[in-house]
Amino acid sequence: MSAPAAGRAAVVLDDGQLGVLARMLGDALERRTPPGDCADCELAREISRIGGADGVFPAEPCEACADDLAMSDEYVALAAVFGIETES
Ligand SMILES: [Zn+2]
């Protein structure tokens, strides 16, 4: 574990605070994990289906979904720092 950056205090969370943080990250993840059902992704999926692909999720998610995916990865990484297990 790296030392806190200058000007930042190292904090130790109690179990209650850790629980709140876990819920926060869970909510954030739920918000950011893209269902891949936005109009752009739906269109890309339809095109890939017509093209004979499995049509599960577009190989290239739209920009908004890609951003959400990147952010949810960051949330999962932050949760891991606190030892918080995230779903999926
Ligand atoms: Zn999308």
Q: What is the pLDDT of residues 21-75, one digit of tens each?
A: 999 999 999 988 776 668 888 887 788 777 766 655 556 788 888 888 889 999 9
pLDDT in the model for residue 23: 95
Q: How far is the CA of 9 from the centre of ligand 1 (A)?
A: 39
pLDDT in the model for residue 4: 66
Q: How far is the CA of 40 from the centre of ligand 1 (A)?
A: 5
Q: What is the pLDDT of residues 2-13, one digit of tens each?
A: 666 777 888 899
pTM for this one? 0.69
Q: How far is the CA of 67 from the centre of ligand 1 (A)?
A: 9
CA separation for the pair 77, 53 (Å, rounded) = 31
Which residue matches tokens 């819920």? 23
In this predicted structure, the answer to whether residue 80 has a pLDDT above a threshold of 60 is yes
pLDDT in the model for residue 15: 94
